[in-house]
Amino acid sequence: MPATREGVRGAVITGWGSALPEKVLTNHDLEKMFDTDHDWIVDRSGIHQRHVGGLTSALSIESGRQALEMSGVDLADIDALVLATTTPDRAVPATASTVQHALGLRCGAFDLNAACSGWVYGLINAHGLIAMGAEKVLLIGTDTLSNITDWTDRGTAILFADGSAASVIEAVDGPGQMLGWDLDSDGSAEKYLYAELGGNLLMEGREVFRRAVRIMVDSATKSMKHAGVSIDDIALVVPHQANIRIISASMDRLGLSMDKAAIVLDRTGNTSSASIPLALNDALDNGRISDGDLVLFVGFGAGMSAASAIVRWTTTAQEHTK
């Protein structure tokens, strides 16, 4: 994957929002559903609880509305809505159309399925639209994996959950926040994690684990090379929230301590397309990202897909927008 060309028009994130279903399912709740226990789940995955319930459209509308309000953009100025999801409400039309109408937008709207790498794929696509002249893009990452989880299968039901997070991305004069990026997919590994149309997720957990660490580190390394930065320059990693041991092994191989990782996994489980932006929004809301910090997003998922991007954060994003 080539590096960003010199001179393309960049963008910055100017608003964000998060939405989780009200219903919380703890590990102790799962103990009543199949043979498992809280300590095993925490030890093997880092997850304590997850939120389940609701539709991809409804969660997207909630997070999208928050992000639009925070950015203060005029709804008529949004040029595109990109909805990263692997669990659309229906086969046709794109759930983005439902969300667009509910939010009062009139713009291009489409779903993007890159599994758990979806939001980073969407971020890079949004930058591509802006490089081609779009001014403002609403990017939402939402998944309702509870709808495609076999709730009797302890190998998968402990991990997957529902959630949504949105970002408003606005054009700037000049290069913007993104310094480097990478997209990848290895279709030969699709058999390790998939769901047939109308079916539930099937997974070979150990194989996914083994590959996940490798492809996260590989993609992050490519993004750093494209950005011309080294690991010592990274202030915060916002990784896909699949398993704390995957995050920990990846941080270790990258040469970073865990205090440089944004984590919401313990509270949310694996929310696929929502996982990275939920962790980003949590870090932002808790003051973990300062002006000028280099932030590394890195995700992996079914496909097996991988994606990463490095942005130089600016807390005064509005001042940079038109």
Q: Known catalytic residues?
A: 116, 240, 270
Q: Is 116 in the site for ligand COA (CB under 6 A)?
A: yes
Q: Which stretch binds ligand COA (CB under 6 A): 48-56, 74-82, 144-152, 206-214?
A: 206-214
Query: What are the structure tokens assigned to 297, written together?
Result: 């997003």
**Does residue 151 bind ligand COA (CB under 6 A)?**
no
Helix H or strand E segment including 58 = helix 56-71
Residues 222-281 that bind ligand COA (CB under 6 A): 242-243, 246, 270
Buried b (16+ CB within 10 A) or exposed e, 16-32: bbbbbbeeebebeebee
Handedness of CA 154, 159, 164, 168 (dihedral sign): negative
State the nearest-atom distance from the C-beta of 303 to ligand COA, in Å: 9
154 belongs to the binding site for ligand COA (CB under 6 A): yes
User: How far is the C-alpha of 196 from the C-alpha of 191, rounded, in Å?
Assistant: 11
Q: Is 219 in the site for ligand COA (CB under 6 A)?
A: no
Check binding of 202 to ligand COA (CB under 6 A): no
Contacts 24+ apart (CB under 8 A), 126-130: 126/11, 126/80, 126/82, 126/169, 127/10, 127/11, 127/169, 127/176, 127/178, 127/181, 129/79, 129/80, 129/82, 130/9, 130/10, 130/11, 130/169, 130/171, 130/176
Q: Which of 250, 114, 123, 231 is nearest to 184 (CA)?
A: 114
Is 305 a binding residue for ligand COA by CB under 6 A? The answer is no
Total residues interacting with ligand COA, rule: CB under 6 A: 20
If the CB atoms of residues 103 and 216 are measured against ligand COA, the closer one turns out to be 216
Please pick, from the candidates 45, 66, 149, 314, the single residue that binds ligand COA as defined by CB under 6 A: 45
Residue from 20, 208, 247, 265 in contact with ligand COA (CB under 6 A)? 208
38 binds ligand COA (CB under 6 A): no
Least distance to ligand COA from the beta carbon of 31, Å? 9
Chain centre distance of CA 293: 19
Q: Given the structure tokens 């047939």, which residue do they identify? A: 196
146 binds ligand COA (CB under 6 A): no
Binding to ligand COA by CB under 6 A, coded x per residue (else -) over 156-195, reads: --xx---------------------------------x--
Binding site for ligand COA (CB under 6 A): 36, 40, 44-45, 116, 154-155, 158-159, 193, 203, 205-206, 208-209, 242-243, 246, 270, 301
